[in-house]
Amino acid sequence: MSATIYIVVDDEAVRDSLDLLLASVGHHTRTYASGAAFLSALEADGAGVAVVDVRMPEMDGLAVQRRLNELGQRLPVVLITGHGDVTMAVAAMKAGAVDFVEKPFTDEAIIDAGDRALARTGGNAGQPDLAAASERLASLTPREYEVLTELVAGHANKVIAHHLSISPRTVEIHRARVMDKMGARSLSQLIRQALAVGIDPPSG
């Protein structure tokens, strides 16, 4: 059975737009207006990837990820998230989701995330190189490491600045350096590496 990209988004306009976009680059797609509808229709041996909106009524993206785990489904999940939902996206990644894309997103970001997730259906492709990630992590200064742990917690620059008693501009500089040293092109890639090497967000 060929892999399918399951689009689980409650907003009809966004759902249809994603369907057209992913189908236009050759992917087989199916769309669902809710997590419950998706889970009810999912075949036990269905192969593919789920692109799921974090914020949905009744069953959010994290609940969908949790239910997939309970069902023993090893379906890679890509989350669509607003900035305020990054904490939830990180929690879902710790539960097994493979990626998240922040709104507003570009066509390329969604296509790339879908391709990376589809690569995971064939094995461990796309997973961080732990040795390389650990080496990069060791190159961070103590302050850069603090900024990284705050980012893993889903905190915005202003919140990080308050927590660390530095200016938002200084946070931006540290954040850019962290991204560069960790070789991350996106926040989701940075978070994926951080989780892979065992970094947990600070409490509170």
CA pair distance 177, 117, nearest whole angstrom:
27
Q: Of 86-90, 165-169, 189-193, which one has max mean pLDDT? A: 165-169
Decide: 137 and 124 in contact? Cβ < 8 Å: no
The per-residue pLDDT for range 14-69, each reduced to its tens digit, is: 999 999 999 999 999 999 999 999 999 887 656 789 999 988 988 988 899 889 88
CA pair distance 3, 49, nearest whole angstrom:
7
> Does this chain's domain 4-120 share its CATH topology with 130-196?
no
Query: Can you give the residue ranges of every domain in the chain?
Result: 4-120, 130-196
| Percent over 90 (pLDDT), the chain | 45
The fourth-level CATH superfamily of domain 4-120 is: Response regulator (3.40.50.2300)
Indicate whether 124 pLDDT > 70.
Answer: no
Over residues 131-142, the mean pLDDT reads 90
Give the pLDDT band of residue 13 (cuts 50, 70, 90). very high
Decide: 5 and 49 in contact? Cβ < 8 Å: yes
Indicate whether 1 pLDDT > 50.
Answer: no
| Protein fold of 130-196 | Arc Repressor Mutant, subunit A (1.10.10)
Decide: 123 and 131 in contact? Cβ < 8 Å: no
Answer whether 0.85 is exceeded by the pTM.
Answer: no
